[in-house]
Amino acid sequence: MPLQIIKDDITNIKADAIVNAANTDLRMGGGVCGAIFRAAGAEKLQEACNKLAPIKTGEAVITDGFNSKAKYIIHTAGPIYSEGNSQQEKQLYDCYYNSLKLAAEKDLKSIAFPLISAGIYGYPLDKALCTAIKSINDFLSSYDKGITVYMTIFDDNTFAMAKKIYKTTNCSLM
């Protein structure tokens, strides 16, 4: 199956690339971003990110994976949620789609995403999940080389919500 929803720490996933829910300055942050930086080696990863920063919300860039389990780390800057902002859904959609495009350009066979913008950026979980799955499915429907996509969810509550939301989609839950 090309898309799998799993409950795990993204830094534990063995994929060709993991996606960092980054800020536009590509600076080490907390949450998923901090965990990825620590797994990769914060100093080396920050040095690589400094050469690529800043990026716009919705854009994606790629670095080596350094000490992480992934060969590459794709960094994408998600939107900070604000009620009534009509651009943020498109920006969030672009985070996933542009990350997948980078993975395709590198001919990668697997990629793991966190749930982008749903932490400190405040995006409502249900909306973040639906936007993520739509973007991933849109990409996969037009990509014929085959890539396995993991949506990696860290906590029990969000994973339970994902089960409900994805029950009627073509996602699998692990």
pLDDT tens digit sequence for 16-72: 999 999 999 999 999 999 999 999 999 999 999 999 999 999 999 999 999 999 999
Q: Which residues contact 105 (CB under 8 A, 6 or more apart)?
A: none
Domains held by the chain: number: 1
Three-state secondary structure call for residue 130:
helix
Q: Domain span at residue 51?
A: 3-173
Express each pLDDT in 72-112 by its tens digit.
Answer: 999 999 999 998 888 999 999 999 999 999 999 999 999 99
